[in-house]
Structure 1
Amino acid sequence: MFHARIVRTVLAITAGYLLALGLWLGWLVPRTPPATVPFQVCGLLAAFGMALGLGMIWADRPTRADRKIERNGLEGWATIDSARRLAVTPDHGHLTSLHLQLTVPGEESYAGSVVYEIPEGMDERFTPGEVVSIRVDPHNRDRIVLCP
Structure 2
Amino acid sequence: MNHPRIFRAVLGVCAGYAIIFAIWAGWLVQHTPPGTLQYQIAGLLGLLGFGLGVAMMLANRPTKADRRLLTHGLEGWARIEDAHPVQQTDHHSELTELQLQLTVPGSESYSGRIVFDVTPIDRDRLAVGAVVPVRVDPHDRGRIMLCPDAGRL
Q: Output the TM-score relative to the length of structure 2.
A: 0.92
Distance 1:146 1:104 in 2: 13
Amino acid at match of 1:102: L
Distance 2:10 2:46 in 1: 15
Deviation, 1:40, is 0.6
Q: Deviations for 1:69-109, whole angstroms, at most 9, x for unmatched residues?
A: 11111111111111122222333122211111111111111
Q: How many residues align?
A: 148
Q: Deviations for 1:36-70, whole angstroms, at most 9, x for unmatched residues?
A: 11101100100110111111111111111111111
The answer for unaligned runs of 5 or more in structure 1 is: none
Partner of 2:56: 56
Deviation, 1:143, is 1.0
**Percent identity (aligned):** 50
Higher fraction of strand: 1
Q: After TM superposition, which residue ranges in structure 1, 4 or more long, deviate above 6 angstroms?
A: none
Partner of 2:83: 83
Q: Output the TM-score relative to the length of structure 1.
A: 0.94
| Alpha carbons of structure 1 residues 95 and 34: separation in structure 2 relative to 1, 3 Å | farther
1:28-47 matches, within 5 Å, as 28-47=28-47
The answer for unaligned runs of 5 or more in structure 2 is: 149-153
- 2:112 is equivalent to residue 112 of structure 1: yes
